[in-house]
Amino acid sequence: MEDILNLRYALDTFYFLVCGALVMWMAAGFAMLEAGLVRAKNTAEILTKNIALFAIASIMYMLVGYGIMYPEGGNGIIPALDFSFMFGGDNDPAAVLAQDPAGWYEGDYYSGMSDFFFQVVFVATAMSIVSGAVAERMKLWSFLWFAVVMTGLIYPLQGYWMWGGGFLDALGFKDFAGSGVVHLAGASAALAGVLLLGARKGKYGANGEIRAIPGANMPLATLGTFILWLGWFGFNGGSELILSNVGEANAVAAVFVNTNAAAAGGVVAALLAARMIFGKADLTMTLNGALAGLVAITAEPLAPSPLWATIVGAIGGILVVFAIITIDKIRIDDPVGAISVHGVVGMWGLMAVPFSNEDATFSAQVTGLLVIFGWVFMASLVTWFILKVTVGIRVSEEEEFEGVDIGECGLEAYPEFVGSRGSGR
């Protein structure tokens, strides 16, 4: 039996690590997507933000966040705190093997380190969502300060409420891999930031006209989407948390199939919706459609049939097209569509759960949705506001015109490509 348990533990741990690595890869996806959808003059800065936020999330979650989100013993609202993770340590092999095989999956059936690894990349994902929405005008350092607070406190607390066994979990709120806890949370923080930040110069004309500001590099944006698509197999697939028997292996496989199906549905639906509204096959909308499908299925990628998963994704794909247009119309300037993709469609994902999962109720879903949105939005608003009145959150008008790359990073993303270059050829 001990041999079996060793293998089980190793397999489940490995599955967790592989899925975690795939989620880490999503950081590259967000970086490329956002770098493709901003203008060339703001590209180096968004890249800097993306790699720095991932690093900050990794450090803050290790120091503080993990110790807020997962220790046992909180009262459901206020978590018990335990910041010992940074000093290492994992399950004792002898103790692990001494566990009763009957209750195996309630015990320590995989490495605690692998658990952290999987969790930490989720925090980074939530934070990545924010960077796109505030792109092209937010100060780099203020953004990074926000990242410290978001990944150290705001995210972990609501994470505790749901996945850490807090009151949302007790309520019966269902959010398999985080349409709410990750995506809606990220979008809520983004929305708060955008509201305080205002639109990019030139986005809205004096007479109310909405101006298009085309993204500079479509191959990058597409690459980013494919990376996210791939990474999402880890995001949803790993969230089953167990692989090592027939039933669980089937479940993980179903999650992979449904995740892919929803993305596919999102692509086709957004492509057709854009075709119908604009008369053209708008690539950026199609990319957002893929992501919308993925966000939509994330709250429940296990229960649906492949057909229903496709439909859930397709509804997400249609929704995102209308959301982007609408949000633009009400003058909320979100260069990459993050609020629509992760926020609006994240809500749809949560509300779609009861259609396929009998254990879910609409009321619990609404409650969870409101709690996550309410907390993250308000806490973020306060944080952004403090940053605004202290260090400021918006670059100067001149820097914005010139591009934040020069102002914040002292270099250009493509120094040679736009017209002539000064020297160095």
In angstroms, what is the minimal distance from the CB of 371 to a copy of itself? 30
Applying CB under 8 A, among 210, 241, 257, 325 the residue interacting with a copy of itself is 257
Q: Find, among 379, 374, 384, the residue nearest to 68 by Cα.
A: 379
Among 179, 239, 284, 340, binds a copy of itself (CB under 8 A): 284
Please name the residue that has the structure tokens 């993990």: 66
With respect to a copy of itself, which residue has the nearer C-beta, 21 or 381? Answer: 21
277 sits near another protein (criterion: CB under 8 A):
yes
Q: Which two tokens stand for residue 166?
A: 């807090």
Residue 239: contacted member of a copy of itself, another protein, none (CB under 5 to 8 Å, by partner type): none
Binding segment (CB under 8 A) for a copy of itself, from list 67-75, 181-189, 328-336, 414-422: 414-422
* Count of residues touching a copy of itself (by CB under 8 A): 137
Q: Are 79 and 164 in contact (CB under 8 A)?
A: yes
Query: How many of the chain's residues bind another protein (CB under 8 A)?
Result: 31
By CB under 8 A, name the one of 218, 325, 332, 366 that touches another protein: 325
By the 8 A CB rule, do 187 and 346 touch?
A: yes
For the stretch 197-223, what's the b/e string if a residue is b when 16 or more beta carbons lie within 10 angstroms of its beta carbon? bebbeebbeeeeeeeeeebbbeebbbb
Pick between residue 18 and residue 241 the one whose CB is nearest to a copy of itself. Answer: 18
355 binds, among a copy of itself, another protein, none (CB under 5 to 8 A by kind): none
Rank residues 50 and 284 by Cβ distance to another protein and give the closer one: 284
Task: List binders of a copy of itself among 83-142 (CB under 8 A).
Answer: 85-88, 90-91, 93, 96-97, 110-114, 116-117, 120, 140-141
State which residue, 307 or 411, has the beta carbon closest to another protein: 411
326-385: which residues touch another protein (CB under 8 A)? 328, 337
The answer to whether residue 422 forms part of the interface with another protein (CB under 8 A) is yes
Are the beta carbons of 83 and 63 closer than 8 angstroms?
A: yes
User: By CB under 8 A, is residue 263 in contact with a copy of itself?
Assistant: yes
- Please pick, from the candidates 78, 170, 250, 390, the single residue that binds a copy of itself as defined by CB under 8 A: 250
For residues 166 and 368, is the Cβ–Cβ distance under 8 A?
Answer: no
Which residues partner with 204 through β-bridges? Answer: 210
Which region among 36-44, 71-79, 182-190, 380-388 touches a copy of itself (by CB under 8 A)?
Answer: 36-44
For another protein, the binding residues (CB under 8 A) are 201-202, 209-214, 277-280, 282, 284-285, 321, 324-325, 328, 337, 401, 406, 410-411, 418-423, 425
